[in-house]
Amino acid sequence: MKYDLIVVGAGILGLSHAYAAARRGLKVAVFERSATPLGASVRNFGQALVTGQPPGPMLQLAKASREIWAHWAERAGFGLQREGLLVFARTEAEEQLLEAFVQRRAAEHGYQVALLRGTALADLYSGQFAHHRAALHGFEDQQLYSREALPALVDYLRRELGVDFQFSTLVRDVQPGTVLSTAGRFEAGQIVVCAGHDYQTLLAEPLAALQPSVCRLQMLRVRPRRDLKLRHALLTGLSGVHYGAFADLPEAAAVQAQILEQSPWLHEHGIHLLISPTPYGELIVGDSHEYGRDASPFNSEQVDNWMLELATDTLACQLDVVERWQGVYGARGRTPFTFLEVAPGLSAALMQAGVGMSVGPGMGEANIARLLGEDA
């Protein structure tokens, strides 16, 4: 069978490109080397964030992705929390950064946010977070449970849009028009490689020119000793020095100075606290960031302990660890994402920043429109 499009990789980028093509009526196949998606797209927090993306293309892609996630959740039948994001200010410097974001950047670029203080903060979750100075509430942010959402999305694409999936199938080589895999040779008018942070199996030479590196993150799933009934994705002001929406505001410098002075280990290990509720009352807690050409397999117990300490303080609740893992994503490219047209009919889509869940669906839409000449 000849396909209109073959996608390599069933992570969020691969599925997003498959969806964008199949909904236009193209005959699509997805090849994935594992039996179910196991890459970055199921190891993450499942935070699909609009607040946090820098103004410009990333913000536009995140807004477009938001609508696609909502459509998928409804059609594929997976849970999607739409109550938004809370970013807690624990210190005066963090509070000033959030205030600057709301007053200047949000007003200028249309982020849908509010700064909660006083009774508004005390009313949140019956006062559970009243020990913080303020909270930024982002209204456009969404939370999903990736390990359930991705398989549900695969089922939906197969069932409703006729996408063929070849799981447990390694693609060994791609050439314009042809995919060589462990299941044989297949032909397609267009091939898009969405292989995540594997830069060596396919298109190694053109990808090497991008000087890709990877980021390794330690992650935990925990059970709070009290049922918090959390429905929002949670961050603290620590993320203000990492996320593009905040990091270039002048007020971020004081947050960074405070980190370096009071807890330099957070900077050294790239730790900033993210907490995501799962549908079962547990929380995903992370993360640390270690950059390099390859991902070390060795987790640091100390890093986990620092993250747990931050989470315990932020939640004002004791936590029991249920599960630990590490995730890896492509990182530190010259641009946060790349669409590389290697030859007519052969391209690669890759993220080089840790926000593929937030912008991936919009990227798939934009790249397929470009391949089909819709934006010409």
Ligand X SMILES: Cc1cc2nc3c(=O)[nH]c(=O)nc-3n(C[C@H](O)[C@H](O)[C@H](O)COP(=O)(O)OP(=O)(O)OC[C@H]3O[C@@H](n4cnc5c(N)ncnc54)[C@H](O)[C@@H]3O)c2cc1C
Residues numbered 316-335 forming contacts with ligand X, rule: CB under 6 A: 327-329
Least CB distance to ligand X at residue 280 (A): 18
Q: Which stretch binds ligand X (CB under 6 A): 91-99, 155-163, 195-203, 254-262?
A: 195-203
Q: Which stretch binds ligand X (CB under 6 A): 26-34, 80-88, 108-116, 365-373?
A: 26-34
Q: Spell out where the chain has E strands.
A: 2-8, 28-31, 47-48, 80-81, 85-89, 113-116, 134-138, 142-144, 164-166, 171-175, 178-181, 184-193, 213-224, 233-236, 274-277, 283-286, 290-292, 319-331, 337-343, 346-351
Nearer to ligand X, 21 or 121 (CB): 21
* Residue of 112, 201, 256, 263 that binds ligand X (CB under 6 A): 201
Residue 202 is a binding residue for ligand X (CB under 6 A) = yes
CA-CA-CA-CA torsion sign (31, 183, 343, 5): negative
**Residues forming beta bridges with residue 339, ordered by sequence position:** 349
Among 153, 195, 245, 285, binds ligand X (CB under 6 A): 195
Closest by CA to 278, choosing from 69, 39, 132, 78, is 78
Q: Convert residues 221-260 into a mask of x (bound to ligand X by CB under 6 A) and - (unbound).
A: ----------------------------------------
User: Does 304 engage in binding with ligand X (CB under 6 A)?
Assistant: no
- Residue 13 is a binding residue for ligand X (CB under 6 A): yes
Q: Say how far apart CA 263 and CA 219 lie, in whole Å.
A: 20
Q: Shortest Cβ distance from residue 198 to ligand X (Å)?
A: 4
**Binding-site member from 68, 355, 368, 371 for ligand X (CB under 6 A):** 355
Q: Give the nearer residue to ligand X in terms of CB position, either 91 or 142.
A: 142
- Judged by CB under 6 A, the chain residues 134 through 173 that form the site for ligand X are 170-171
Nearest to 84 by CA among 136, 120, 159: 136
Q: Are 273 and 112 a contacting pair, CB within 8 Å?
A: no
C-beta of 103 vs 168, nearer to ligand X: 168
Q: Which is nearer to ligand X, 237 or 356 (CB)?
A: 356
Look-up of token digits 């070390």? 296
Report the residue number, 41 or 258, with the smaller CB distance to ligand X: 41
Backbone dihedral angles phi then psi of residue 172, each to the nearest 5 degrees: -90, -30
Report d(CA 346, CA 376) in Å as an integer. 19
Q: How distant, in Å, are the alpha carbons of 151, 299, 311, 314 from that of 320?
A: 27, 18, 11, 15
CB 376, min distance to ligand X, A: 26
Binder among 9, 212, 240, 362 for ligand X (CB under 6 A): 9
41 or 236: whose CB is closer to ligand X? Answer: 41
Only one residue has tokens 């830069």, namely 199
List the interface residues with ligand X, window 254-293 (CB under 6 A). Answer: 287
| Residue entry with tokens 């799981």 | 167
Backbone CA torsion sign across 217, 220, 224, 229: positive
Rounded (to 5) percent helix, strand, coil in the chain: 35, 30, 35
**Min CB(346)–ligand X separation in Å:** 14
Interface with ligand X (CB under 6 A), residue from 20, 28, 44, 365: 44
Q: By CB under 6 A, name the binding residues for ligand X.
A: 8-14, 31-34, 37-41, 43-47, 170-171, 194-196, 198, 201-202, 217, 219, 287, 327-329, 351, 354-358
